[in-house]
Amino acid sequence: MSSGLLIVISGPSGVGKGTIISDLCRESPQIEVSVSTTTRSPRPQEEEGESYFFVSEPAFEEKISSGFFLEWANVYGHYYGTSREAVKEATEKGKDILLELDVQGGMQVKANMPEAVLIFIAPPSLTELRRRITARGTEISEHIEKRMHIALQELKYYEEYDYIIINNRIEETVNIVKTIISAEKYRVFRNKDLSWE
């Protein structure tokens, strides 16, 4: 198979998605994380085209109208979206593109690009998820409760995904994701151009 895969990673806040993605990209050079477009202001150390593509709100809304985005959302008053064309170009060059999305974004990708591989990362338990969020030391009690409430809603979506991985250990989870990616490349529908002539 010459084309790359589009892989969506979703799961509750605190489940370990960022670490999993970071380890995957370090271990698998053919995997790239898609650069999103956003209307929020750049933070220190963030670079245009590296961290995000930064645009104005009217420009983003124009892109929505033109069908530019594969998926998009308004998060805490700022737009975020993934370029449909950028994903297409990268996968056509054989790159595997990784998107870290919430469940709404995952469902948009599923509707717009059914061949995408959707992986849901789940915690071993809600108690462990709460422990991980608390251990960060960056959240006040009220925010932890809000994240736990959102997590409960997100966990209801796991059946909409192709795969679910319980993240007990990061190394094990990363290896499972790599196995899924490898197996997906051998799916028959991805290899319809085979010929024995």
The CB density around residue 107, as the number of other CB atoms within 10 Å, is 18
Question: Quick check: is 195 in a domain?
Answer: no
- Domain membership of residue 26 (yes or no) is yes
**DSSP-H helix ranges across 4-83:** 17-27, 57-66
Domain contains 116: yes
What pLDDT, on the 0 to 100 scale, is given for residue 138? 67
139 within domain boundaries: yes
Number of domains in the chain: 1
> What local confidence, expressed as pLDDT, does residue 192 receive?
85
Classify residue 103: in a domain, yes or no.
yes
Residue 156 pLDDT: 95
pLDDT at 166: 97
The beta strand positions in 21-161, using DSSP E, are 31-33, 36-38, 52-54, 69-75, 78-83, 96-100, 117-122
In a domain, 27, yes or no: yes
Q: Which domain holds residue 82?
A: 6-190
In a domain, 74, yes or no: yes
pTM: 0.90
Query: What distance in Å separates the CA atoms of residue 72 and residue 48, rounded to the nearest whole number?
Result: 19
In-domain check, residue 78:
yes
Please write the tens of the pLDDT for every residue from 75-125: 878 999 999 999 999 999 999 999 999 999 999 999 999 999 999 999 999
- pLDDT (average), residues 180-191: 94
DSSP structure class, residue 41: P
Q: What is the CATH number of the domain that holds 113?
A: 3.40.50.300
pLDDT of amino acid 51:
86
Question: How far apart (Å, rounded) are the C-alpha atoms in residues 120 and 122?
Answer: 6
pLDDT tens for 117-173 read 999 999 999 999 999 888 877 667 888 888 899 999 999 999 999 999 999 999 999
